[in-house]
Structures are given as C-alpha cells and as structure tokens.
Structure 1
C-alpha cells in the first residue's frame, strides 16, 4: 500500500467546538509522529462541519469548512462556491437614490421594518436624508443590524438658487451688476405687511426694496456706466442715494436710491415650492466708481429650516424615528469611527 492517500469523505465529519483534540484522541508519541508524517503526505479535501456555535452572536448552529490536505494543509471556506448557485440575495443591501422627499417617504414605507430609522444632515452645503432599513433591533441584547440597505435623498439645489449662490458676496462693477439684476429680475418679489416688516427688522433696514426699485436702480446704473460718483449719501433708513457726474444723460438727472435689501421668491431645492429669501445689497467706492455686491441673508438658517420641515414630514408619514447625524456603520456595513 502506498504511503500517499487521497481521501474525500462521503459524509461530513463532525467536530464539536467544545471538544479538545486531546479529548478526541489518545495516542503515544511515536503514533502521533507517524500520523503527522502521513497527514503531511496525504492529499485530498474533506468537508467537515463545525457545530455548537449558536452561542456566538450572529452565527448559525453549524457551518461547513473545507480541510485541504497536502504539503501545506489548511482550512478554506466553501461559502463562495455556494454563492455561485444562489437564486436570490441572502440579504437586502444597497442604496436607493431618490429625487424628492415624497419618493423618499414612499420607498422608505415600502421597505421599513420595526427597527428602521432615518438620519438627517442639515449642513447647508450638503443637506440629506438617509433611511437605514436594516438598523439594529431596539432591544440591547437583540440582534444587531448590518445597516447595508438604505434609501438616500440628497437635497438637490435649484438652478435659481445655485445662480444666486454662485455670485453671493462677489464684487461686480456697475455694468456687470446691472446686467445681472436685469437677467434675474423674475426671481425677485415684493414683500408686504407683516412679512416685509419681519424681514426688515431682522436685517435692520427700514424697508425691503421692491423689484421695481431694484430694476430702476439697474437701469439707472446702465445710463451712468463710466460716470464718476459725485454724491454718496447714506440715509438713516439704511438706503443710500448716489449721484453721478454724467457722461450720459439720465432720464431725470436725479440721484439713484439704493435699498439696503431686497427679496427673492425662488425654490431652494429642485421640484420644491419657492420660498422668500432676503438679500442684503452693498456697495463700496473704488477710485471714484462703485463696486456692488449682495449677500444672501442667513443661508444656513434657510437650509436648516427646509430640512427640519422635511424631517417632520418624514417622521409623520413613516412613523420612524428621525435623528440628526449619521449611522455608526458605512453603507458596506463597516463600523465608522471605531476606537483604535
């Protein structure tokens, strides 16, 4: 008989995880040495079953392992071979990206479980909502969730908002500013009553300029492009009056009134209703000419308020807890920010 044996078991061998090798075999030193020599020279693969693992969280009662014999014996997983024959996924996983809050709510309701939660990010630069469908069981000693099945909504800023934000705080000369104001005139709105008074009070100006005033200002600037400033009077109301040394004749030659603020009525996010956005109007003198700029008022508050409204809608229509922040695992299930 050859010393080399090729062996594949017909039935899986069973090893109890609580049984030591010493308990399973009782051999003298010479026998152990001979068996070790034969084992090293043997070839083949055995499928053995590791049992009594139910006490380890997340493991089944037993699982198979391949024992590969030969010059370099080792253990190998057989799960990858089984995966080739899988007819449907073992778990739900992946991120669904939706285009509006309504779709986020509907898809979350379709997949949610008793353990699902929602996380919100109110950062005005990248606001978002994320449902973690397979989150942890609420009971401390219950099963942990993988956190790999998600619904994500990244609030998409509207084109109007992106245009105004792009020029926010950037100096413009007279011609640039006049052209910009005329191009974006449809974005402006007139505030009346309590709403106008509230925004004026917050911005510490006497009144919010109307679209007609801003448009007239732009037209006046166009007439006086290239002219030098002759008079610059700041009024107690927060408005200013500017007169030019005329190189071109204006319609009445009167100083231009510059409101301290005006208002936009544009959607903050794509496919959402428009909201009021207050804007400060500022200028400074540079070599006898005016440089203009505007500042969107309390941008962070506007975005945070929009996200807060969305969070309230999500909580009311899904019945899920909504938290400000991010989950402790990535979308792949890897822990985030683990110590060490």
Structure 2
C-alpha cells in the first residue's frame, strides 16, 4: 500500500447508535449504523441498555463496514474512535474495542471529539456538497447539544454560545412527549408541522444574554399551555395537533436563528455550517436557505446521513489527524464530558 492510500476505520458509540465507517483519502467507502429500537418504549435512551447493545453490535457493524468498503482490516492505516462526549458506558465499548484492534493490527489509534466531528463532517469528499472556507460559524444541534462554534481551522475552534440547560433536540422530544407523540418526537413534529399554521399559537421565547440558549422555560411554557387548553377542551391536542407542532417548531427555529444572526453580526462571519441530528429538520434547513438571500450568508448543510450520529464524521476527523500526525496513546480513556 502506498502512503498516499490512507484508509481510516471510524468507530462511533457515544449514545445509542453503534456505527463504523471506512474512509479512503477523504472519501467514504462505507458508513454502517446499527440503531437501538429498544429505547422507544422507554421514551428516551436507557444508558445500561445502550452499552449492552453496543457490545452486541460493534463486531458485526465493523465487519460489515469493512466488507462494504471491500478492504481487509490489514489495509487500515489507523483507527479513529469517539472518545467523548457521550454516555460513559457506551463510550467505553467503542474505546476498548478500538484500542484492542489498533494494538492487534499495530496501527495508530486516533481519538475524536464527537462535537468536532459533527462540524468537520463538512469536509468529507462528497459529490454535490461544497466545503466551507475558514473562518466559518458552525451551529451544532442535537438531542444532547446546542452550540455555536467559531471555526478558524480544522482543530482551532471556540464555542461562543451554548445551551444553559436543555438541548434543542431534547426540547423537541419533551414537547412531543407532552403531546403524546412517539419517541424520538423531533421527526414527527417536523412532519406534522408541514401541515399546520406556525403562527396559530404563541410561545414566549426565553431571554438569554449573549449567544447562549435556554430551552427549559419554553418546554415548561408548552406544558402549562397544553394543560390549560386540555382542561377547557379534552380534545384540544387531537383537534389542533398540526398547528401545535407547527407553532412549537416555528418558535424553536426562531430562537436558533436569532442567536445565529447575532453571532454572524458580532463576528462578521457570513459562512454558516450546521450539523447534528436536529439539522435534519426541514424547517431549520429552509430557514438557513432563506437567510442566504436576506443576510448574504453562504450556508452549508451536510448530506443527511452525516447529520445524525455516524462513523463517517469520526473517520474524516481521524483522516485529518492522521495527516497532522496527531495520534493517541494506548492508555487513553473515554471521557463523558469534553471541551475543545
């Protein structure tokens, strides 16, 4: 194998998805994800069940990723894995497996920050998708995180705004639970919102200084509103579900866009990239596209499969770190909380 042929195996196990991907010189050859449907019946991820499922899934998922990429594990240049942030039990499975495989193959081990990976997923070589230039603003929005990051280089990033309580994905899911929707509720609310009136009901936006977010107050406001209306009309949710979903989504998107506009104005940066599971939301994507014309932004939205937790984004960070010669020691451990 020539040095120019770099093959990275990426492994992601931060929450409830076990994922493996093979990347060749910046291009994804395979990107396999095993979902854990068991959590739906509990209305959220159960950490103990998640770590057990990772133990069952990780070997077949890695095997499938290598088979789809049509390469032998001996051709791998390095193994990249999610060190954190995430659920400790889940992270330990991916970390232990990656360390063992790297030692067995005698190849470098590369640790990856999950949140950096959501941002750097934009640098995967994918036909039809442009890569942002530095500097750019990244908004990472998921079930566990909501951040605005100023990105000056691949590994020179600064969090300039983040949630003080609930993440945006959590706000969607908890709102859905109040309405009796299945978990995860985000995609369901998005689908129903398309048929509703976004201005049917008004929800107050929290007042938070600077570029930080808060969603706990909004969630409480939605709960009290629903309780009050259902008391007057037991069929209120059923009769107004699409309008309620549209109004909730409209409010959440406005909160996100207000902070993003403020960040762009304060930094002077007009290149905006989004990432994380909630970036799959159609309303958010449309709002970003609308902002291009209104504010002169250039926006970057990743391919759908790289928005939710996946190993392709881990592999691209591994590739960039490989080129920089940034490797991990075999004594490295998982970290549930990380700061970059």
TM-score (norm 2): 0.25
When you count helix as a share of all residues, which structure comes out higher? 2
TM-score (norm 1): 0.25
| Greater radius of gyration (CA) | 1
When you count strand as a share of all residues, which structure comes out higher? 1
